[in-house]
Amino acid sequence: MHHEGLPWNRGIHEQLLEQMLGPRPEEGRRPARMQSLAEHVGRVLGSERLNPDSPQDLLRALNSAGVRVGTTRKWDLMAWAAQGGAQTEERRELIRPVLEYKQLYRLWTANGWHWLDEWIREDRFHAAYVVGGVVTGRWAAHGGGAMQIPKTVRDAVRAEPGHVLTVADASQVEPRILAAMSGDRALAVAGRGHDLYLGIAEIGQRTGSALKDRQAAKIALLGAMYGATSGDAAAMMPHLRRLFPTAIELVERAAAAGERGGQVSTWLGRTSPVPDEAWFASVRDVGTAQAESRSRTLSRSHGRFTRNFVVQGTAAEWALCWMGEIRRRLRSGGADGAGMRTRMVFFVHDEVVLYGPEEEAEAVHGIVADAAEAAGRLLFGDAPVDFPLTVAAVGSYAEAK
């Protein structure tokens, strides 16, 4: 994928930047629209010399203007506005230019002109992957932001004349992995042939469970995999445990091991790291109420990590098998078995992007779908688990999202 590169139209990217930021500025200066907005933010917050690029300066200015937040993160600002009661709309108006500036700043620094100069060569983005760079086995990126292409610039990912991008996105991989790993047939059957969360809701309706709609089923299952201990997810856990006891037992067993400082493994044997000695010392220290509270917090936190480690890590292994099978089939496909011209050019967790001639698009669609099922059989044998995909053949990456 690094060798092939993702097709990237520099001209379209530059047009997008100019539309959102203004013309390319001189070195060391902000784009025109950002400069104008920075001045506006300063006036709104009563700090004419404000540098909104500095989180510390911006936080001080926000606090001085009555915006009582601990960080400048979007969700903290939105939460503050939502607590305004009758003044909620007034609060939203106050933080709106701040949020807009932060969005433009992110675009300018992460995918602006300097990014184009550094990462686009001959209309290709050669993603620098770090295979297994995350402790669970998920991939990371060595610069360039390969693990997330923002919506604002996806339209620059364009197929050339006579070619097409095939974007294949696996649906609900982690809960399906949980069904296969645990051997929970009821959970596996819930996702056979359709949306897994909808399948759980249908089972809930038939059994009189509180999991009677898709949103409740999604919240409950994600909470089980990520260790949600409060709110709707926690309230739904008894219902989930009753319907799918084998699956829930697997993640709870992994969580219990983590809370003791033990290790857990993915399906193919990647092992979670052991906490350091400072962790064990803190967990054992229960001499005071404060120390005991800290001990419980640390223990539960590591339990949440190991709970998800087994599922997320195995999902990463499934993705590797999926990509390997796609590549094998591309290399041995074609009318004469000499291989196809289409190649994989991009990958993000549970999504692959392929690029090749338009006439191969239909065959490629079949290859990525068959490869997903083959990866499931390779890992889990005859477990009755589907790995459905959303596959789109498009001229622009933005059209697939």
- pLDDT reported for residue 199: 93
The tokens for 214 are: 């898709």
Phi then psi for 136, rounded to 5 degrees?
-75, -10
Residues 279 and 186 in one domain: yes
What pLDDT score does 207 carry? 87
Spatial contact of 237 and 219, defined as CB atoms under 8 Å apart: no
Question: What phi and psi, each to the nearest 5 degrees, are found at residue 245?
Answer: -60, -35
| Same-domain pairing of 95 and 202 | no
* Domain stops at, among 263, 280, 311: 311
Provide the residue range defining the domain that includes 55.
14-123
Q: Tell me what pLDDT residue 209 has.
A: 83
Quick check: 209 and 242 in contact, CB under 8 A? yes
Q: How many domains does the chain have?
A: 2
All residues at 6 or more sequence positions from 200 whose CB lies less than 8 Å from its CB, including other chains: 187, 190, 211, 214, 217, 220, 221, 243
Q: Is 202 inside a domain boundary?
A: yes
- Can you give the pLDDT at residue 163? 98
Do 21 and 92 lie in one domain? The reply is: yes
Q: How far apart are CA 156 and CA 119, in angstroms?
A: 13
User: Residue 228 falls within a domain, yes or no?
Assistant: yes
CB 271 within 8 A of CB 265: yes
**Does 373 fall in a domain?**
no
Within the chain, which residues score under 70 in pLDDT?
335
Looking at the structure, tell me whether residues 119 and 185 fall in a common domain: no
For residue 118, is it within any domain?
A: yes
- Residue 331 is predicted with a pLDDT of 93
Amino acid identity for residue 261 in this structure: G
Backbone angles phi, psi at 168, to 5 degrees: -115, 120
Last residue of one domain, picked from the residues 311, 340, 363? 311
Beta partners for residue 66, in sequence order: none
Identify whether 331 is part of a domain.
no
Q: Which residues contact 39 (CB under 8 A, 6 or more apart)?
A: none
Say what the pLDDT of residue 330 is: 95
Q: Are residues 229 and 110 in the same domain?
A: no
Note whether residue 31 is domain-resident.
Answer: yes
The residues, ordered by sequence, that sit 6+ positions from 382 with a Cβ below 8 Å of its Cβ are: none
Q: Phi first, then psi: give them for residue 357, nearest 5 degrees.
A: -65, 145
My answer on whether 117 and 30 are in the same domain is yes
Coil, strand or helix: which one is 26? coil
Ramachandran angles phi, psi of 356, nearest 5°: -175, -170
pTM assigned to the model: 0.90
